Amino acid sequence: MDLYLPVANLSVNALVIVLLGGGVGFLSGMFGVGGGFLTTPLLIFYGIPPTVAAASAATQVTGASVSGAMAYLERDGVDLRMGSVLVTGGMIGSLIGAGLFELLTAWGQIDTVISILYVALMGSVGTIMGREALGALRAMREGLPPPARKRRHHPMVANLPLRWRFYRSGLYISPLAPLLLGMAVGIITMLLGVGGGFIMVPAMVYLLGMGTQVVVGTSLFQTLFVTIATTMVHALTTGAVDLVLAALLLVGSVTGAQIGARFAQTVRPEYLRAILAAIVLLVALRMAVDLFIRPDEIYTVQ
Amino acid sequence: MRRAALFLVALLGAAGWAIAARAADPRLVPDVSSRAIDIQYSFTGEELLLFGAILYPGQRLPDDRADIVVVLKGPVRPIILREKQRVAGIWVNADSIRLRTSPGFYAIGSSRPIDQLVDERTAAIFELGLSNLSMSPTGFSEAKTLARFENGLIDLYRRQGLFYEDPKAVEITEGVLYRARIPVPARVPVGNYRAETYLISKGRVIAVAARDVEIRKAGFERFVALAAQRHGFLYGLTAVLLSVSLGYAASAIFRRR
């Protein structure tokens, strides 16, 4: 079934887009990530202009994170104070991101920067996750208890001035640290159309040293509000949000997310993390290879 | 209806004029299958039929064969054309030129290959053929660079169906009626198009006639595209509400089970 996308200015097969959203949603429900890191590259691969892909993927991540964020809020799994600081940073970041977007577009390097950011971020996060997951799996097989992680924040965080108490996270640190982290993720959300959960969660654990019981909920809370901000900024600056495309993706992804979340309960979390690491690394590898081989289109029109 | 009536009057007028001016050159009476193409929800492209009649003075066919060239040309706009090159191992946009009058769509069909019909100079004057489009380039250094970029653009747009060339598209019946089908792809830019017909004989363009065609988004698609351009805030709000409510609805439905 072909459908015309009024902002992207081309026709797509609606079923393919819904299935794409469903597949990404399934993974996002299973792993508790937004899934934007898969949507944007897949849409670009399908032929959607990169800007429209990033903007509409951000809208889709909003939908995918709503139910998760609400569930964690009900269970008191969100550090609201930490979340507010992160969201404030994220909103500042999305505005900075919009400026960068415009600058890079005028300079003609937006596509390359997006690709390199993807490769660098997903390559490193995937490696860290993969190594940890493998370690946990090995420990599991040998019947040992999983290696206990020392919970402490990075020394750089401790050196920042001004300290607040974040009760739910069990932290007494400078709010500047989460503010800066939120800003960085906001910039990335704006440029890549990702929710940033795959960066946020490790950063919360390893940089801030947050208590694990509120990490995922707070990350989802931040993702929800920052993707909303990003959608608004995109609508006001690039005008690249395609409502029809976003709606198709959403229909698939919100359903897929619910199925994925149920499926996740039947699989051991160690395996889940190993699979997620493999997917992240595969996408990073694919994008890295694309940077080095001769692209299909040498010429582009702007 | 009024349009059709007007058209009829014009046709009769043209025919009458042609009969009155017996000694003059032949005339063309062109038309297109639709004056306006609406881009709607399931638009996957369309085929536009350019057809018409050649009116010879005194209704006498000439001894030589005359040829017809039809051109469908979209609105021109300024573009930046970028070229990727390998820099330090990776492919990045390295070089660019500006083209101030690049058509977003250009299709040409003829009854014989253009180079057999007219010489290069005439083809350049009437912009017949993809290599004869004048795109007003700025910011390039050499003619060689320009040619490379223009070929790149032509190749790109050709594969996207935005540039189209078919030397056998025009079919002439009995020397007086002609018709040509021009494919219009889904990713066609909206705007005012011109469908031009050229009558060519012995290397000379002896008659030219044109019709306007409008390609526009219609209905819901038009509404969405306009809202995205003009009311960014409300549009963004709609997108947010849509995603939040769909996400909420899905979790509510699945929880009930």
In chain A, residues with a C-beta closer than 8 Å to the C-beta of B248 are 66-67, 70
CB of A2 within 8 Å of any CB in chain B?
yes
pLDDT at site B105: 92
pTM (2 d.p.) = 0.77
How far B139 CA lies from chain A's nearest CA (Å)? 15
Question: What does the pLDDT profile of chain A (302 residues) look like in tens digits?
Answer: 788 887 877 888 889 999 998 888 888 777 767 677 888 888 887 888 878 888 888 888 888 888 778 777 877 777 888 888 889 998 999 899 888 888 888 887 887 888 888 888 888 888 888 888 888 788 777 776 655 555 566 666 666 777 777 777 777 777 777 888 889 988 888 888 777 777 888 788 777 777 777 777 888 888 888 889 888 888 888 788 888 899 999 998 888 888 887 777 777 777 777 888 888 888 888 888 888 877 777 787 77
Cα A179 to Cα A249: distance, rounded to the nearest angstrom: 31
Please indicate whether, in this complex, the C-beta atoms of B82 and A302 are within 8 angstroms of each other.
yes
CATH of domain B2-216: 2.60.40.1930
Which token pair is B150?
Answer: 């223009």
The pLDDT score that the predictor gives to residue B21 is 47
Instruction: Report yes or no: B156 at the A interface, CB cutoff 8 Å.
Output: yes
CB B89 within 8 A of CB B174: no
Interface of B with A in 90-149 (CB under 8 A): 90-93, 96, 102, 149
Distance CA B90, CA A71 (A): 44
The whole-number pLDDT of residue B22 equals 44
Output DSSP code: residue B142: -
Q: What is the number of residues in chain A?
A: 302
Distance from CA of B232 to the nearest CA of A (A): 5
- The complex scores an ipTM of 0.81
Kindly list the domain boundaries of chain A, sorted by start residue.
Answer: 2-292
Q: What are the residues whose beta carbons fall under 8 Å from the beta carbon of B102, sequence distance 6 or more?
A: A301, B76, B77, B78, B79, B81, B133, B135, B153
Determine what percent of chain B falls in helix, strand and coil, rounding each to the nearest 5.
35, 40, 25
Domain boundaries, chain B: 2-216, 218-257
**Cross-chain residue pair B250–A302, CB shorter than 8 Å:** no
Contacts of A171 (CB under 8 A, 6+ apart): A82, A153, A165, A208, A209, A210, A211
pLDDT value at position A151? 56
Quick check: B247 and A67 CB within 8 A?
yes
Write down the residue that tokens 């039809």 correspond to: B70
pLDDT tens, B18-38? 444 444 678 888 888 888 888
Check CB contact of A257 with chain B, cutoff 8 Å: yes
Helix, strand and coil in chain A, % to nearest 5: 70, 5, 20
Q: Which residue has the tokens 């250094």?
A: B141
